[in-house]
Amino acid sequence: MEHADFVDSNQAELISIASAMLSGEVNLIAGVRRILSLSAAIGDIGNEVFIPIRAIDSETDHFPLGDVRLNWEPSALSRVDVEMKDYLADAKEDILRSCQEIVQLYSVKRDLSMHEKIKNVLMQDWDPIGVQEIPEAQDEYDNYVPMIYSMLISRKPVNEVLEYLLWLEGEHMGLTVDHQRTQLIAEKLVSLE
């Protein structure tokens, strides 16, 4: 896996975990720990959006979660569960606010990353007018990126992306279309993550 794909995958998981915490599907302490791990994996642990998460992790790292709870003596576990419940009563609002900020920040970063990937496929693989070697023309297909992005996030099928590309080539640009080649480009765009 290339580094950019690794970062994208971890950013997607970061958004997913923060969203699941906001909806109550993930334990907040477990989520904080996972977010902190992901922030390190993507090399963004110093981002100020993670300051509250780091603080909360530091204050809660003694709380047992998951299988480790099986090794705790029941009365000690009961005491620490009360402490965790009290802590979360005070910190829940801060945790959820941080989750909202993380979702907003990384959704924008992910959108920009996806736009860049689409732009690269259009210029490097599609390039129906043959301008990829011309430095001044590197933005030639930028106007098509938002429509393709919209189609991809809406999970439009390959044939709809293909129809749009064929329309661009044949109708909009007045070129002879290469249906087979353009089919491969449409498939590549739909497979982007």
* Per-residue pLDDT tens digits of the chain, which is 193 residues long: 687 778 878 888 998 899 889 888 899 999 999 999 999 999 998 999 999 999 999 999 999 999 999 999 999 999 999 999 999 999 999 999 999 999 888 887 878 888 899 999 999 999 999 999 999 999 999 989 888 987 887 788 999 999 999 999 999 999 999 999 999 999 999 999 7
Q: Residues 192, 177, 187, CA angle at the centre, nearest 5°?
A: 15
The three-state DSSP-derived secondary structure of the chain is CCHHHHHHHHHHHHHHHHHHHHCCCCCHHHHHHHHHHHHHHCCCCCCHHHHHHHHHHHHHCCCCCHHHHHHCCHHHHHHHHHHHHHHHHHHHHHHHHHHHHHHHHHHHHHHHHHHHHHHHHHHHHHCCCCCCCCHHHCCCCHHHHHHHHHHHHCCCCHHHHHHHHHHHHHHHCCCCCCHHHHHHHHHHHHCCC
Question: Given this model, what pLDDT does residue 62 score?
Answer: 95
Give pTM, 2 decimals. Answer: 0.63
CA pair distance 70, 57, nearest whole angstrom: 21
Cβ neighbours, 10 Å, residue 18: 29
pLDDT attached to residue 9: 84
What gap in Å lies between CA 100 and CA 18, rounded to an integer?
A: 7
Torsion of CA 157, 161, 167, 173, to 10 degrees: -170
For the beta carbon of residue 71, count every other beta carbon within 10 angstroms: 8
Q: What is the pLDDT of residue 11?
A: 87
Question: What pLDDT, on a 0 to 100 scale, did the predictor assign at position 50?
Answer: 95
